[in-house]
């Protein structure tokens, strides 16, 4: 079969705030081929990613993503890899192309799984799935007491691993940060995993990050995430060399496979966190997972948005028993939940699994998304080059 | 003074082909502040870079570039660095932001130089400029004879250094490539520098690239450029370890300072090639130049477009006497030449220098560009979020 269409659905909350909460908008991708439908999601900046799909060609290796995708053959995972290579080559100088392609790639796996009646993890070569321990991602409180209260709430909600980050963390003194970390540990009790996310706050300042290590190790934090900019491998490696019990984590900013493998090979991270909706999709993520296994580094998904994105991000390591921890969007905005009619829920053990249903196993609910959809039009020289799909019409088509 | 406006002018040839010729379109940026005007250029994909400037916010660290730029104070180079950091942080998850910001950053240096009546290289701390040896960038011929003819033509036009690349290079056998390289050397004679550009053709396949080393060294090629993908440091380093006389070059794909310094520190390149219009502008390029000097690596500009981009790309190493070679757009399309009324020409020694006039020293000719301008309109929910500036009106304002 061949790719007949690629449609983008841009959804957002009525008001998007300055919170570090990536679930406030979404760019959903629908691909059709041979009468099958696949769904994916790009992370983030919907308008920019749409533009990268339809932009006029700049030259031979700065082509719109559409030109490497539409009409292409799609019968097997090898076809996805072939198209990925073409996008990489033909859109070499189009920086945003990686993010746009990621959502399309995810949709192609979903489509292929549905066509072959297999879950994506099986198409990736895994024979079974393993339960993952979801961690709740939360913003650091405004005060240590606030952080402590949130930690208690997360435990009460059944989470055995909790991540705190952003907010004031890293912006004040190391002593302030130590108070937050100690409060988080107190609120969690001794038997839960504590993860801390610095959100790139120290740029490449190794000393600033190193000043936080003692408090993190005293609180038995599992990892310190994104202390630095994603390409700052020298800084990552120096910090990793000075840490004893706490692992350095990172990788969500990777938009190529090499960016993530470099963070392992040169940055010395102990946890590699991959966002399938940025790195080039599920195939690219699986390549990183393979490399992580080889290097004895733990693979973790990065997901802060919908359960479609969650399923996509779980597939690449669904069959890895020893890679246990999983980022779980615990307080997503309504738009992120509205994307699908089913969700990946915690089981009686407080654990989650990649779905067994064909494809990604997530039922996209376009009708439920209607209140959040935004209509985009782009014209060049007064000729329309992009118009958002007509949704009521399309919904009836889909149903 | 404060930044009053940022305007984008998207210009292109009537027909943009699949040639690997980046001069077929351009995104010109005009910034105004305190009654002064600065000009810059983004490379490439104009529509996508415009979208990254105006896109609705996705969350706190996925903001449109505009939100970190408009209204900001701009009195000194330190202000440019401050805004660069804000763009980096506030648009962390907006992949295209680096390309969009690059053109704005260049325009800010031009504006600051004009306001202070100093050339940009002086603002960067250089006391004088040094003449650079321009190399002509040419596509490899369809046959070795074609390559030989082009090499002779380049010599006849006064060039003492010539680069060949793209076309069939790397796509056939190593023997075919060897014929082209030998033909290029024959056409150039013994007293000109020969440079070869592989355009990332081997991905991260070290053996494929290594199979070309013997022919390159036999022809005394100065460098082999971009054998691999820009993040493939392991492959770069392995190839560099196997090369004897030929240096590995790369860096044009860098969209952050660390990407370029990593190619030096981990990739073992002997020549670091920076496109100021991609890496984050002139300040980011200067940071790479400083690192290159420290590491004993030769800094080279990457420029395939206008003389505005050429001036911008020469500033970061204008004052470095030992970094001699300079990419010079030898066959640009008419749109690239139309951008300015003056150009950086070869002197009697066949050499070029960064201009001494204030700012970038390039007079942008908006009126001359009118035939090439493309009009962009973007609407979200039927509300216009972007319209290309009204040019005839603006021209009269500028003049």
Q: Which of A16, A21, A45 to mutate to test the interface with B (most CBs of B within 10 A)?
A: A45
Q: Which of B43, B48, B262 sits opposite A55 (nearest CB)?
A: B48
Q: Which residues contact A41 (CB under 8 A, 6 or more apart)?
A: A26, A27, A28, A29, A103, A106, A277, A305, A306, A308, A309, A312, A339
Mean per-residue pLDDT over chain A, rounded: 96
Query: Strand, helix or coil at B97?
Result: helix
- For A176-220, write each residue's pLDDT tens digit: 999 999 999 999 999 999 999 999 999 999 999 999 999 999 999
Q: Which of A51, A60, A95 sits opposite B47 (nearest CB)?
A: A51
Across A150-162, average pLDDT? 95
Q: Which of A21, A266, A378 sits opposite B59 (nearest CB)?
A: A21
Across A301-330, average pLDDT? 96
At A399 the pLDDT is: 38
At A169 the pLDDT is: 94
High-pLDDT (> 90) share of chain B, %: 94
- For A13-62, write each residue's pLDDT tens digit: 999 999 989 999 999 999 999 999 999 999 989 999 999 999 999 999 99
- For B157-190, write each residue's pLDDT tens digit: 999 999 999 888 999 999 999 999 999 999 999 9
At A392 the pLDDT is: 63
Q: What is the largest CA-CA distance in chain A?
A: 63
Nearest CA in chain B to A376: B380
High-pLDDT (> 90) share of chain A, %: 94
Nearest CA in chain A to B22: A59
In chain A, domain spans: 3-121+362-398, 123-338
| Residue A56: DSSP 8-state | P
Q: Do A380 and B375 touch (CB under 8 A)?
A: yes
Give the pairing of strands A161-165 and A133-139: parallel
Nearest Cα neighbor of A246 from A296, A207, A203, A209 is: A209
Interface size, chain A vs chain B, as Cβ–Cβ contacts under 8 Å:
211
Nearest CA in chain B to A61: B20
B49-63, B97-111, B164-178: the lowest-pLDDT one: B164-178
Question: Per CATH, is B3-118+362-398 categorized as 3.30.230.10?
Answer: no
Outline where chain B has alpha helix (H). Answer: 46-54, 66-69, 77-90, 97-116, 120-123, 144-156, 174-188, 206-210, 213-218, 233-242, 257-265, 276-279, 282-295, 307-314, 334-338, 366-369, 391-398
Q: Do B200 and A20 touch (CB under 8 A)?
A: no
Give the pairing of strands A36-42 and B271-274: unpaired
- For A346-358, write each residue's pLDDT tens digit: 999 999 999 999 9
Q: Do B262 and A265 touch (CB under 8 A)?
A: no
Q: Which of A58, A98, A255 sits opposite B16 (nearest CB)?
A: A58
Q: Which of B26, B53, B59, B166 to mutate to test the interface with A (most CBs of A within 10 A)?
A: B59
At A138 the pLDDT is: 87
**pLDDT at B198 > cutoff 90:** yes
Residue B330: pLDDT band with limits 50, 70, 90: confident
Give the pairing of strands A373-374 and A3-12: antiparallel
Across B35-47, average pLDDT? 97
- For A231-271, write each residue's pLDDT tens digit: 999 999 999 999 999 999 999 999 999 999 999 999 999 99
- For B344-377, write each residue's pLDDT tens digit: 999 999 999 999 999 999 999 999 999 999 999 9
Chain B positions in Cβ-Cβ contact with residue A374 (cut-off 8 Å): 56, 380-381
Chain B positions in Cβ-Cβ contact with residue A44 (cut-off 8 Å): 58-59, 62, 93-94
Residue A395: pLDDT band with limits 50, 70, 90: very low
Spell out the CATH class of A3-121+362-398.
alpha beta
Q: Which of A51, A92, A259 sits opposite B231 (nearest CB)?
A: A259
**pLDDT at A342 > cutoff 70:** yes
What is the predicted ipTM?
Answer: 0.96
**pLDDT at A339 > cutoff 80:** yes
**pLDDT at B394 > cutoff 50:** no
Residue B392: pLDDT band with limits 50, 70, 90: low
The encoded tokens of residue A44 equal: 């983030």
At A166 the pLDDT is: 86
Nearest Cα neighbor of A43 from B378, B58, B47 is: B58
Question: What CATH code is assigned to B123-338?
Answer: 3.20.20.120
Shortest Cα distance, chain A CAs vs residue B208, angstroms: 17
Spatial strand order of the sheet with A373-374 comes to: A36-42, A25-33, A3-12, A373-374
Outline where chain A has alpha helix (H). Answer: 46-54, 66-69, 77-90, 97-116, 120-123, 144-156, 174-188, 206-210, 213-218, 233-242, 257-265, 276-279, 282-295, 307-314, 334-338, 366-369, 391-398
- For B242-285, write each residue's pLDDT tens digit: 999 999 999 999 999 999 999 999 999 999 999 999 999 999 99
Q: Do A258 and B232 touch (CB under 8 A)?
A: yes
A207 CB-contact burial (10 Å; exposed 0-12 / middle 13-18 / buried 19+): exposed
**pLDDT at B397 > cutoff 70:** no
Three-state SS for A232-268 is: CHHHHHHHHHHCCCCEEEECCCCCCHHHHHHHHHCCC
Bridge partners of A250, per DSSP, are: A272
**pLDDT at B58 > cutoff 70:** yes
Q: Do B58 and A265 touch (CB under 8 A)?
A: no
Across A308-323, average pLDDT? 98
Q: Is A226 left (phi over 0), alpha (psi -120 to 50) or beta?
A: left
At B351 the pLDDT is: 96
Chain B positions in Cβ-Cβ contact with residue A43 (cut-off 8 Å): 93
Q: How many residues does chain B have?
A: 399
Q: Do A45 and B59 touch (CB under 8 A)?
A: no
Q: Which of A20, A25, A375 sits opposite B60 (nearest CB)?
A: A20
Q: How many residues does chain A have?
A: 399
């Amino acid at each position: 079969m061949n790719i007949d269409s690629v449609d983008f659905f841009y959804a957002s909350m009525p008001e998007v705030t300055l919170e570090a909460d990536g679930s406030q908008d979404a760019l959903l991708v629908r691909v059709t081929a041979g009468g099958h439908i696949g769904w994916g999601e790009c992370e983030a900046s919907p308008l920019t990613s749409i533009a990268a799909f339809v932009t006029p060609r700049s030259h031979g290796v700065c082509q719109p993503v559409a030109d490497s995708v539409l009409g292409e053959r799609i019968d097997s995972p090898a076809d996805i890899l072939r198209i990925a290579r073409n996008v990489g080559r033909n859109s070499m100088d189009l920086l945003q192309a990686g993010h746009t392609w990621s959502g399309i790639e995810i949709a192609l796996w979903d489509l292929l799984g549905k066509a072959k009646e297999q879950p994506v993890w099986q198409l990736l070569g895994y024979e079974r799935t393993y339960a993952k321990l979801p961690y709740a991602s939360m913003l650091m409180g405004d005060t240590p007491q606030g952080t402590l209260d949130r930690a208690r709430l997360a435990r009460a909600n059944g989470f055995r691993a909790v991540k705190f980050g952003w907010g004031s963390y890293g912006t004040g003194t190391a002593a302030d940060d130590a108070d937050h970390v100690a409060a988080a540990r107190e609120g969690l009790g001794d038997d839960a995993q504590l993860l801390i996310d610095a959100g790139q706050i120290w740029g490449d300042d190794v000393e600033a990050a190193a000043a936080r290590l003692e408090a993190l190790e005293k609180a038995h934090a599992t990892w310190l995430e994104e202390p630095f900019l994603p390409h700052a491998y020298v800084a990552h490696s120096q910090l990793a060399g000075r840490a004893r019990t706490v692992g350095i984590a990172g990788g969500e900013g990777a938009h190529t496979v090499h960016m993530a493998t470099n963070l392992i090979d040169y940055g010395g991270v102990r946890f590699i966190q991959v966002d399938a909706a940025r790195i080039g999709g599920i195939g690219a993520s699986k390549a990183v997972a393979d490399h992580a296994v080889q290097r004895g580094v733990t693979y973790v998904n990065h997901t802060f948005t919908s359960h479609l994105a969650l399923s996509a991000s779980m597939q690449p390591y669904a069959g890895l028993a020893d890679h246990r921890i999983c980022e779980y969007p615990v307080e997503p905005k309504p738009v992120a939940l509205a994307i699908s009619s089913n969700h990946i829920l915690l089981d009686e053990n407080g654990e989650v699994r990649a779905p067994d249903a064909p494809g990604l196993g997530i039922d996209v609910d376009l009708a439920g998304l209607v209140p959040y959809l935004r209509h985009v039009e782009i014209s060049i020289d007064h000729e329309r080059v992009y118009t958002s799909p007509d949704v009521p019409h399309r919904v009836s088509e889909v149903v």
